[in-house]
Structure 1
Amino acid sequence: MGVPERMRAVRILEHGGPEVMDVAEVPVPSPRAGEVLVHISVVALNNTDLWTREGAYGRPGDPQARSGWRGPVDFPRIQGADVVGRVVAVGADVEENIVGRRVVVDPAIYDDDGPDANPVGLMGSERDGGYAEYVTAPAVRVHDMTESPLTDDQLAALPTAYGTALGMIERGRLRKGETALVSGASGGVGLAAVQIARARGARVLAISSGSKIDAVRDAGAHEVVDRARDLAGQICVAAPEGIDVVLDVVAGDLVSDGLPLLREGGRWVIAGALGGFRVTFDVRRLYLHNAQVIGSAMHTPTHFRLLMDLARRAEIQPVIAATFPLDQAIRAQEELARRRHVGKIVMHP
Structure 2
Amino acid sequence: MTTGPGGYDRLDFRDVPIPVPMAGEALVKVLAAGINNTDINTRLGWYSSRVTAGTAEAAGAMPAADGGWNGASPFPFIQGTDCCGRVAAIGPGGDASLLGQRVLVRPCMRPQGFSSLDMKWLGSDFDGAFADYAVVPQAELFPIASQWSDAELATIPCAYGTAENMLHRAGVSAGERVLVTGASGGVGSAAVQLAKRRGAWVAAVTTADKAAALLHLGADHIIDRALGIPADLAGTFAVAVDNVAGPGFGGVLTALARGGCYVTSGAIAGPVVALDMRDLYLQDLTLIGCTAWDAPVFPNLIGYIERNEIRPLVAGTFPLQEIAEAQRAFLEKRHVGNFVLIPPGAA
Query: How high is the TM-score relative to the length of structure 2?
Result: 0.91
Q: Which of 257, 260, 266 is the matching residue for 2:254?
A: 260
- Separation in 2, partners of 1:316, 1:151: 14
Task: Give 1:232's aligned residue.
Answer: 229
Tell me which moved more, 289-298 or 261-270.
289-298
Coordinate RMSD, CA, aligned? 1.6
Contact 1:117-1:300 at 8 Å conserved across structures:
no
Give, as a single letter, the amino acid of the residue that structure 2 aligns with 1:160. Answer: C
Q: Which of 192, 212, 218 is the matching residue for 1:220?
A: 218
- Separation in 1, partners of 2:223, 2:156: 25
Contact 2:235-2:258 at 8 Å conserved across structures:
no
Task: Give 1:6's aligned residue.
Answer: none
Tell me which moved more, 178-187 or 254-263.
254-263
Describe how 1:38-117 pairs up with structure 2 within 5 A: 38-59=28-49, 62-63=50-51, 65-66=64-65, 67-114=67-114, 117=116
- Separation in 1, partners of 2:322, 2:169: 37
Task: Give 1:207's aligned residue.
Answer: 205
**CA deviation digits over 1:7-36, x for unaligned, max 9?**
xxxx11111111111111101111111011
- Separation in 1, partners of 2:320, 2:5: 20
Describe how 1:58-207 pairs up with structure 2 within 5 A: 58-59=48-49, 62-63=50-51, 65-66=64-65, 67-114=67-114, 117-118=116-117, 120-145=119-144, 147-207=145-205
Contact 1:251-1:277 at 8 Å conserved across structures:
yes
Give, as a single letter, the amino acid of the residue that structure 2 aligns with 1:55. Answer: G
Task: Give 1:28's aligned residue.
Answer: 18
1:84 Cα shift? 0.6
Q: Which of 303, 306, 315 is the matching residue for 1:309?
A: 303
Q: Secondary structure at the match of 1:89?
A: strand
**CA deviation digits over 1:297-328, x for unaligned, max 9?**
15223211111111111111011000011111
- Separation in 2, partners of 1:328, 1:336: 12
Contact 1:39-1:134 at 8 Å conserved across structures:
yes
- Separation in 2, partners of 1:103, 1:308: 10
1:159 Cα shift? 0.7
Q: Secondary structure at the match of 2:152?
A: helix
- Separation in 2, partners of 1:341, 1:23: 25
- Separation in 2, partners of 1:69, 1:214: 35
Structure 2: runs of 5+ lacking an equivalent? 53-63
Q: Secondary structure at the match of 1:148?
A: coil
Give, as a single letter, the amino acid of the residue that structure 2 aligns with 1:167. Answer: N
Structure with the larger strand share: 1
- Separation in 2, partners of 1:261, 1:150: 37
What's the % identity of the aligned pairs?
38
Q: Secondary structure at the match of 1:321?
A: strand
Give, as a single letter, the amino acid of the residue that structure 2 aligns with 1:323. Answer: T
**CA deviation digits over 1:51-81, x for unaligned, max 9?**
111111104xx55644122211122111101
Alpha-carbon spacing, 1:225–1:119, altered in 2? closer, same or farther (3 Å): farther
Describe how 1:237-252 pairs up with structure 2 within 5 A: 237=232, 239=233, 242-252=236-246
Number of residue equivalences? 331
1:326 is aligned to 2:290: no
Task: Give 1:7's aligned residue.
Answer: none
Tell me which moved more, 152-161 or 273-282.
273-282
Q: Secondary structure at the match of 2:215?
A: helix
Task: Give 2:268's aligned residue.
Answer: 274
